Amino acid sequence: MVSYYASSSEPAQVRGKTVYIQYSNRHEIVNNKSPGDTPGNVLLVTIEGVEANDVTIETIHLVFSAFGFVHKIATFEKAAGFQALIQFTDAETASSARNALDGRSIPRYLLPGHVTSCHLRISYSAHTDLNIKFQSHRSRVLVKPGSQHTDVLSWALSNFLNLLSMVPYICKSQYSWKLFTC
C-alpha cells in the first residue's frame, strides 16, 4: 500500500481528509493516551442529541454544581459532538458527579423546547487545570463568593445574579467607574 500511494498522483484519503502513509519501525501500535478511566478533577462531558447553542454554560453549571464547586467550564465542538470540560476542586467531587450523571439526561425543563433527547457521556480528562483565556458564552471561570479574587468585574459578570448585592462593594472599589457612577 505504501508503494502504491508513493507513486500515485492522488494522495490517500480517509473520510475526505488527506493522510500520509509511511513505514514504521515499531512492531505494534501503542496508545499512550489515558482511556478516561483514571480519576482526575476535570471531566470531559459529551452532550449527545443537542446543537452547540442548545445547552448554555449556565445550564451545565447548574447540573454539575449539585456535586460541588465548579471552578471552570469550557465548551467546544468536536467530531464526537458538543463537549464540555468541567473542572472541580478535587477528583472525589468529579468522581461523584461522573458516577451520578454518566448516561443520564439533562432535565427537559432546563433545555429549549425543540430538544427531545439529551444524554451525557462522561469520562475523565487528562487536564488538571483548564486554561481559560477569556470569559464568553463558551468558557467561564467561576469564583466562590467571599474568596480573595482580585478581578471584581470578572466575578460579578460571571455571577450576574449576585451583582445587585455587590453594588456597595463595587462602588467603593477601584473598578467603580466601569460599572456605576457612585
Question: Helices then strands (H, E): number in the chain?
Answer: 6, 7
Whole-number pLDDT of residue 136: 76
Give the H or E element holding residue 178. Answer: helix 176-179
Cell numbers at residue 118, please? 439529551
Measured between alpha carbons, how far is 156 from 58 in angstroms, rounded to an integer? 14
Average pLDDT over residues 170-181: 44
Dmax (CA) of the chain? 75
Quote the mean pLDDT of the chain: 77
The whole-number pLDDT of residue 156 equals: 52
* Segments making up each domain of the chain, as ranges: 34-142, 143-182
Residue with the three cell numbers 481528509: 17
DSSP H or E stretch at residue 59: helix 57-64
Contacts of 92 (CB under 8 A, 6+ apart): none
pLDDT in tens, 24-51: 777 777 665 555 578 999 999 999 988 8
pLDDT digit string, tens, across residues 139-155: 777 765 555 444 445 54
| Contact residues for 18 (Cβ-Cβ < 8 A; gap 6+) | 11, 12
In 64-143, DSSP assigns E strands to 70-78, 81-88, 119-124, 139-141
The whole-angstrom separation of Cα 158 and Cα 96 is 25
Q: State the pTM of this model.
A: 0.61
Match 450523571 to its residue by C-alpha cell. Answer: 101
The sign one gets for the Cα dihedral 44, 51, 49, 54 is: positive
CATH of domain 34-142: 3.30.70.330
pLDDT digits (tens, 9 = 90+) for 89-112: 999 999 999 999 999 999 888 888
CA distance 59 to 155: 18
